[in-house]
Amino acid sequence: MDKELEHSFVTQLEKHQNIIHKVCRLYTNNQDAHNDLFQEVTIQLWRAFPKFRGEAKFSTWMYRIALNTAITLYRKSKRRIKTNDIADFHFKIKSEEYDDTEEEQLKLMYSAIKQLSDIEKALIFLYLEEKNYREISETMGISEVNARVKMNRAKGKLKKILNP
Amino acid sequence: MEELDKLKKSWNKDIHPKVSAESIYKMILKKSSSAVKWIFIISMIELAIGLSSGILLFTNTENELNLPSWLEGTVTIAGILIPIIYSYKFYKNYKTINTTSSVKELLNNIIKTRKTVKQFVLINLSLIAIMVIFTLYHTLTIPMGVNNEIAYPLNTVKDYFILILVILMITTIVIGICIFVYFLLYGILMRKLNKNHKELQQLDL
């Protein structure tokens, strides 16, 4: 039974892992921290998995735990598994997909997002993931109105960082 | 916001090198290094110290400390009951910490759990302070030893003043060390949680 559970978890996580990578990208500044947070989110997801009833989509369920881990639980740790699979992460956007100006703009955008608070980062993340305000308010535990207010403030802050 | 919308368009294209199933298997065998885990471990240590000091007080008060009977009774009951009540409260709160809650709910639950232990520590520190004051007073003023000597005979107002000063100083040092260790342990651990909690609280005001 445990093996089945483990297999089902690993298969689904492998499929949806990009969600965790995207959270890690916003909340960490280097490869080691990215790998650390990826591992911590995976552990937290695995712990909560027996209670996952499939009412929500696996990916939706992942958002909440990944963000909770990044905002609340994550502490930098040196105890990280060493594997070639995650040792080669690059923070550069694949150059063949973008021209230089676009790449530069995106880099600036990422660095601006990183200057936001943990909560604002979470809102921007959910916005980028095209979540509606109802989903955002449920994930964050605040009212829809406050989610809107906070989102506008976060966007305003980003604008100021990008155009000082 | 134009720049953000540009990022939105490319957001999902930004594919990271995949972590293999084999690596995920390895990861789930690893232990968590989360802040909550450390808060839990430190809280358990605090509760264990509180519980054992309660038992020690229960077994030792009568013979060694020579406290007034009303205080002896209160300290004994408090030393046993308080750790039991707080261990239960802590366990109950800890059970509500769940990563599937919303961000705010999770932060609230963690902070509530911490508050329980904080209260417990403060009560314990107060009990320690009372014990230190009374023990010092008795040690210094009650005749003891073979010659039935008083360590610090109180003859003048100045004697009383010095005695109170000494007791206060020692009590402050003992409590000060406890508080220093306490804040050192929690200050770092709780900083991020408190900051994010405050931000969400302010938003809902």
Res B86 pLDDT > 70: yes
Report d(CA A123, CA A150) in Å as an integer.
8
B150-201 pLDDT, tens digit per residue, is: 666 667 778 778 878 888 888 788 778 877 877 777 777 777 788 888 888 7
Q: Do B101 and A141 touch (CB under 8 A)?
A: yes
Q: Do B98 and A48 touch (CB under 8 A)?
A: yes
* pLDDT tens digit at each of 164 positions of chain A: 588 888 989 998 998 899 999 999 899 888 888 888 999 999 999 988 888 877 678 888 888 899 999 988 776 654 444 444 343 343 444 445 556 677 777 788 888 898 999 999 999 999 999 899 999 998 898 999 999 999 999 999 988 988 87
Q: What is the pLDDT of residue A78?
A: 45
Q: How far is A62 from chain B (nearest CA, A)?
A: 9
Pick the CATH number of A1-77+84-91 from 3.10.310.10, 2.40.50.180, 1.10.1740.10, 1.10.30.50: 1.10.1740.10
Burial class (CB in 10 A: 0-12, 13-18, 19+), A110: middle
Q: How far is A86 from chain B (nearest CA, A)?
A: 6
Burial class (CB in 10 A: 0-12, 13-18, 19+), B51: middle
Delimiting residues of CATH 1.10.10.10 domain(s) in chain A: 94-164
Mutate to test the interface with B, among A31, A38, A43 (most CBs of B within 10 A): A43
Top-confidence residue, B62 or A63 = A63
* Number of inter-chain CB pairs under 8 A, A vs B: 189
Q: Do A14 and B24 touch (CB under 8 A)?
A: yes
Considering only the beta carbons, identify the residue of B17, B27, B104 that sits closest to A39: B27
What is the complex's ipTM, to 2 decimals?
0.74
Top-confidence residue, B137 or A113 = A113
B39 — pLDDT class (breaks 50, 70, 90)? confident
Considering only the beta carbons, identify the residue of A79, A85, A122 that sits closest to B103: A122
Q: Angle, to 10 degrees, between the axis of helix A144-162 and the axis of helix B2-11?
A: 100
Q: Do A73 and B203 touch (CB under 8 A)?
A: no
Delimiting residues of CATH 1.10.1740.10 domain(s) in chain A: 1-77+84-91
Report d(CA A91, CA A5) in Å as an integer.
33
- Tokens at B104, concatenated: 């705010």
Question: Which residue in chain A has the smallest CA separation from B13?
Answer: A97
CA-to-CA dists, residue B92 to A91, B64, B96, B104, B116, angstroms? 42, 36, 7, 19, 10
Amino acid at B103: V
Fold of A94-164: Arc Repressor Mutant, subunit A (1.10.10)
B185-199 pLDDT, tens digit per residue, is: 777 777 778 888 888
CA B4, chain centre distance (Å): 44
Cβ B79 vs Cβ B63: under 8 Å: no
Cβ B102 vs Cβ B55: under 8 Å: no
Question: Which residue in chain B has the smallest CA separation from A40?
Answer: B32
Report d(CA B199, CA A160) in Å as an integer.
20
Model pTM score: 0.73
- Reported as half-sphere exposure (CB side, CA atoms, 13 A), residue A53 has a value of 2
Cβ neighbours for B77, distance < 8 A, ≥ 6 positions apart: none
